[in-house]
Chain A
Amino acid sequence: MDYFLELFLGGLTRGSIYALIALGYTMVYGIIELINFAHGEIYMIGAFTALIVISVLTMMGMNTIAILVIAGFIAVIYSCAYGYTVEKIAYKPLRRAPRLSALISAIGMSLFLQNYVLLAQTSDFLPFPNLIPDFTFMEPYAHIISSAEVVILITTTIVMILLTVLIKFTKMGKAMRATSQDKDMARLVGIDVDRVISVTFVLGSATAAIGGVLIASHVGMINFYIGFIAGIKAFVAAVLGGIGSIPGAVLGSFVLGWTESFATGYVSSDYEDVFAFVFLVLILIFRPAGILGRTEKHTV
C-alpha cells in the first residue's frame, strides 16, 4: 500500500511539473493556434538561469532560502524575456503565413536555443543544488513523500489559482479569452491583439520557469537537453486534456504523471519515455479533442 501511495504521490508531483509547462503550450495554442516548439527550451533556460544565479549567490555566501527566492525570481524574469523575444522574432512576422511555416520556424527556434545554451555553457550534466530543506514535521511521511515534493505541489497549486484568477477576473484575462475566440473581432472591438499575444507568451514562460527551477532542484541535475523531453511530455499532457483548455492541461498532466509513475513502478523503467508517446498516439486516434476539449467545428 505504501508503495502504491508513493507511486501515486510521485505521479502527482510529476503531473504538477508537467502542468506548469503544459499551461504555456495550451495558452499559446488557445490564442494563436501554434505549437510553440521552443517552449521546452524556455523552461530549460529558466533552469539554467536559476543555476547560474544560485552558484554566484552561494559563492557570495547567502543563505539557502534567500537564494531560492532570488534565483527563482530572476529565472522567471529571464524566461519571460526569452519567451517575449522568441515570439517577436520567430512568430510575429509569420502571423499571416501558412501554419506549416510558423511550425517550422518554431522548430528552428527550439534547435537554436538548445545549441545556444550548449555552446555558451556546456554539454555536460550540471549538478543542481537541492535548495528545499527537509522539514522536520515531514519526517514520519518521508518514505512516501519528500519535502521537496510537498513544496512542488503547493507551489503548483498557488500558480494555478493565480492564473485562473488572472484569466477569469482581470481585464487582460478577458482580452485573452476574447482573442482566443476570434482574433479579428477582438481587434475590431479595440483589443491590442499583439499585446495580448505577448502577454500570453510571457505568462506561459513564467510558469515554465517556475516548473524548471522546481524540477531541477528535485532531480538534482540539468543540461541543455532537458527542455526537449519535458516539453514533449507537457505537450502530450496538453493534448490529452484538450489543447486550448487550461483545466484540461492540468488534468491531462496529472493523468500522464500517474500513468508514467505507475507504469515505471510496476512494469518497466526501460521504456519510460515511450509511454508518453504511445499515450499520445492513442489519444489522438480515439479522442483527438482530448478529455475536456471541445470538438472542433471547422469553418468553411
Chain B
Amino acid sequence: MIKFSEIKKSLWVSLWFMFLTFPVMVIRVNTIENVIEWRWENMIFIGVGSFLFSFVWRYLLKQKEYGLKRAEEGGDIRPSLAQRILRDRKIFAPALTVVGIFALLFPYVFSLYQTNIMISALIFVMLGLGLNIVVGLAGLLDLGYVAFYAVGAYAYALLNYHFGLSFWILLPVGGALGMLFGILLGFPVLRLRGDYLAIVTLGFGEIIRLILENWNEFSFGPSGISNIPRPSFFGMSLSVHDSTIFIYYIMIALCIFTIFVVNRLQDSRIGRAWIALREDEVACQAMGIDKAKTKLTAFALGATWAGMGGVMFAAKTTFVNPASFTIWESIIILCIVVLGGMGSVVGVIIGALILILLPEYLRAFSEYRMLMFGILLVVMMVFRPGGIVSDVRRIYKFEGSGGAGKDA
C-alpha cells in the first residue's frame, strides 16, 4: 500500500522537475528563423516520468540502507547470483564451454556485419580489462586511457606507412609503445591524489588528441591515415571477408591471452599490492609496499593493453584519425569497468558486451547512448558501486593447522 505522504512527496518531485526542465525541454528557439517552438508534451513526459521514477528511487535507496544496516550488524551477506555461478564449478564449467563454442562458431553462424560488431566489442573487452587493472585493481582513476589506445593505433598506421612494417611486428610494438607512454605519464602523476590524477590524465588524453589534430607533418592532421593494411595470414593477404574473420579470431585469442594474464596478476604478489593500494594508500606503504613502483606498474600494464587494442583497431578499420580518440572513448571504457564491476574480470567482459553490443542493436536509440551512459554511471555508483559482478576474492582452504594452502 502506498502511503499518501509518499504520493505527496513524489508530486513535489514531479513539480520540481517540470520547473527545472522547463526552459531546456519545452522551449526551443530557432534563432535563424526567429520562431519559438513550444513543446508542452515534453513537460507532461517529465512530470509523469519523474513522478513514477521518484518512487523507484526512494525504494532503491531504502533497499540500499537496509543492506548497509544488515552488513553493519554483521549479518551474513548473501552472495549474488553471479557470484554463486562463478563459485560453482558445476555450473561454471559447462557455461564456459557453451560460451567458448559460441565464440568459435560466431563468424560462420552470423553475417560479416555481425562479426565486425563483435570485433569492436572484443576490442573493448580488451580495453576494459586493461583499464580494470588501473581503475578496478589499483584504484587510480585514469580518464586519459584513450591516449594509449591512440598511441597504439597511430603506431601501426605510421610505422607501416613510413617503414612498411607488418601487423605482426607492430602488434607487440604497439603494446610496448603504450607501455612506454604509460610510464612517461606515470612518472609525473605518481605523487598526485586520486581526484587530481583524474584531471591530469584527462588533460593528457586531450593533449595527445590535440597534437594528433594539429601536427600535420607528423600525423596528417584531422584527415588521418587511410589504407592501413589488414593483418596477413602467413604472408598471404586475404580478401575482406576472410581477413575480417581472421581478425575476429585474432581478437578472440588476444582476449583469452588478456584474461589469462589479468587472472594470473590478480592473485599474485603484485596484484595484491594493487588492491591494497586501492584500499588504503597509507597503510599500504606502511606495510612495506613501494607506492610509486606499484602505481607505475599498474599504469604501464594498463597502457600496454590499450596500445595493442589500438593496433587492432587500426587493422580492423584500416583508417585512423583523431576523432576516434576523444575523451568519450575513455568514458565509455570507464563505464564498462564500472558497470561490470571494478576488479572483476568476468564483470568487465559482461560490461563490455552489454555496452558495446546493446547500442549497436538498438540503433533507434543510438542518440541516447551517451545520455544513458551518464545515468548509468550515477545510478551504479549510488546503488551498486560493486558493479554487476562484484569483486570475488580467492578462497583458501586449510587442512589442519599449518597445512600448506590450497585454493578452492
Give the B-binding residues of A (Cβ under 8 A). 34-35, 45, 48-49, 51-53, 55-56, 59, 74, 78, 81-82, 85, 89-90, 93-94, 97-105, 107-117, 119-122, 126-127, 232, 235-236, 239, 270-271, 273-274, 276-278, 280-281, 284-285, 288, 298, 300
Q: Is A277 within 8 A of B374, CB to CB?
A: no
B200 with A284: CB separation less than 8 A: yes
**Cα–Cα distance between A108 and B198 once the two chains are bound (Å):** 14
In angstroms, how far is the closest chain A Cβ from the Cβ of B75?
19
Cross-chain contact A288 with B203 (CB below 8 angstroms): no
- B28 interface residue, CB < 8 Å from A? yes
Contact partners of B189 in chain A: CB under 8 A = 281, 284
User: Nearest Cβ in chain B — how far from A228, in angstroms?
Assistant: 8
Residues of chain A within 8 A (CB-CB) of B191 are 285, 288
Rounded to whole angstroms, the CA-CA distance of A198 and B131 in the bound complex is 34
Bound together, the chains give a CA A24 to CA B385 distance in angstroms of 27
Select one of B24, B143, B211 contacting A107, CB under 8 A: B143
Chain A contacts for B21, CB-based, 8 A: 120
A239 to nearest B CB, angstroms?
Answer: 7
Residue total for B at the interface (Cβ-Cβ under 8 A): 57
Do the beta carbons of B192 and A284 come within 8 Å of each other? yes
**Separation of A67 and B188 alpha carbons in the complex (Å):** 49
Which of A48, A49, A112 contacts B374, CB < 8 Å?
A112
A104 in contact with B377 (CB, 8 Å): yes
A110–B378 CA distance with the chains assembled, in angstroms: 10
3 closest Cβ contacts across the A-B interface? Answer: A108-B377, A112-B374, A111-B374
Tell me if B249 is interfacial: C-beta within 8 Å of chain A: no
A89–B378 touching, CB < 8 Å = yes
Contact B370 A273 (CB under 8 A): no
A53 to B379, CA, bound (A): 32
Contact A277 B206 (CB under 8 A): yes
Nearest A residue (CB) for B64 = A93
Report 15 cross-chain contacts, Cβ distance below 8 Å, ordered by A residue: A81-B20, A93-B64, A100-B139, A100-B194, A111-B371, A112-B374, A112-B378, A115-B374, A120-B25, A121-B28, A232-B203, A278-B207, A281-B189, A284-B189, A285-B188
Whether B392 sits at the interface, judged by CB under 8 Å, is no
B109 to chain A, nearest CB (A): 35
Structural contact, A101 and B31, CB atoms closer than 8 A? no
On whether the beta carbons of A51 and B370 are closer than 8 Å, the reply is: no
Partner of A103, one of B27, B64, B198, B214: B198
Task: List residues of chain A with CB within 8 A of the CB of B382.
Answer: 89-90, 93-94, 105
**Is the CB of B338 closer than 8 A to any CB of chain A?**
yes
Known: A232-B202, A277-B204. A271 touches B282 (CB 8 A): no
CB <8 Å contact, B20 and A105: no
Given contacts A99-B194, A108-B378, A110-B374, contact A120 B207 (CB under 8 A): no
- List chain B positions with a Cβ less than 8 A from chain A: 16, 19-21, 23-25, 27-29, 31, 34, 36, 42, 61, 64, 135, 139, 141, 143, 188-189, 191-192, 194-196, 198-200, 202-204, 206-207, 210-211, 214, 282, 331, 334, 338, 367-368, 370-371, 373-382, 385
A281/B203 in contact, CB under 8 A:
yes
Instruction: Contact check, B207 vs A274: say whether CB atoms are below 8 A apart.
Output: yes
Asked whether, in the complex, the Cβ of A49 is within 8 Å of the Cβ of B23, the reply is yes
Known contacts A56-B27, A127-B31; is-contact A277 B194 (Cβ 8 Å): no
Q: In the complex the two chains form, what is the Cα distance from A26 to B8 in whole Å?
A: 36
Contact across chains for B61 and A93 when beta carbons are under 8 A apart: yes
Using Cβ atoms and an 8 Å threshold, which residues of chain B touch A116?
24, 371
Within 8 Å by CB of A105, from B64, B214, B377, lies: B377
The answer to whether A119 touches B368 (Cβ under 8 A) is yes
Q: Knowing A277-B207, A284-B192, say if A49 contacts B141 (CB, 8 Å).
A: no
A111-B377 contact in complex given A55-B29, A81-B19, A288-B191, C-beta closer than 8 Å: yes
Chain B: minimal CB distance from A60 (Å): 10
Cross-chain contact of B24 among A48, A103, A298 (Cβ < 8 A): A48
Which residues of the partner chain A approach B64 to less than 8 Å between Cβ atoms?
93
Q: Which residue of A lies closest to B202 (CB)?
A: A232
Chain A nearest Cβ from B340, distance in angstroms: 13
Which of B31, B210, B379 has the most chain A CB within a 10 Å cutoff?
Answer: B31
Q: Are B207's CB and A97's CB within 8 A?
A: no
Cα distance A285–B187 in the bound complex, in angstroms: 10
Given the complex of chains A and B, what is the CA–CA distance between A42 and B371 in angstroms?
16
- B381 touching A105 by the CB < 8 A rule? yes
A53 contacts across to B, CB distance below 8 A = 23
Chain B residues within 8 Å of A278, by CB: 207
- Candidates A49, A59, A103, A115; contact of B36 at CB < 8 Å: A59
Q: A271 to B375, Cβ gap below 8 A?
A: no
- Measured between C-beta atoms, what is the minimum distance from B183 to chain A in Å? 15
- Decide: A103 and B194 in contact? CB cutoff 8 A: yes
When the two chains form their complex, are residues B374 and A300 in contact, meaning their CB atoms are under 8 A apart? no
- Min CB distance A222 to B, Å, is 11
Whether A104 contacts B141 in the complex (CB less than 8 A), given A56-B27, A115-B374, A284-B192, comes out as yes
Q: Which B residues lie within 8 Å of A127 (CB)?
A: 31
Which B residues lie within 8 Å of A122 (CB)?
A: 28
Residues of B within 8 A of A89 (CB): 378, 382
List of B residues within 8 angstroms of A59 by Cβ: 34, 36
C-alpha spacing A121/B34, complex, angstroms: 15
Alpha-carbon distance A177/B68, docked complex (angstroms):
31
Q: Which residues of A contact B23 (CB under 8 A)?
A: 48-49, 52-53, 74, 78
A297 to chain B, nearest CB (A): 13
What residues of A have a CB within 8 angstroms of the CB of B203 in the complex? Answer: 232, 276-277, 280-281
Asked if B377 and A121 make an inter-chain contact with CB atoms under 8 angstroms apart, the answer reads: no
Question: Is B385 touching A97 in the complex (CB atoms < 8 A)?
Answer: yes
Contact A105 B378 (CB under 8 A): yes
Extra contacts, 7 of them, besides A90-B381, A100-B194 (Cβ < 8 A), are A34-B195, A35-B199, A55-B31, A59-B34, A108-B376, A108-B378, A114-B370
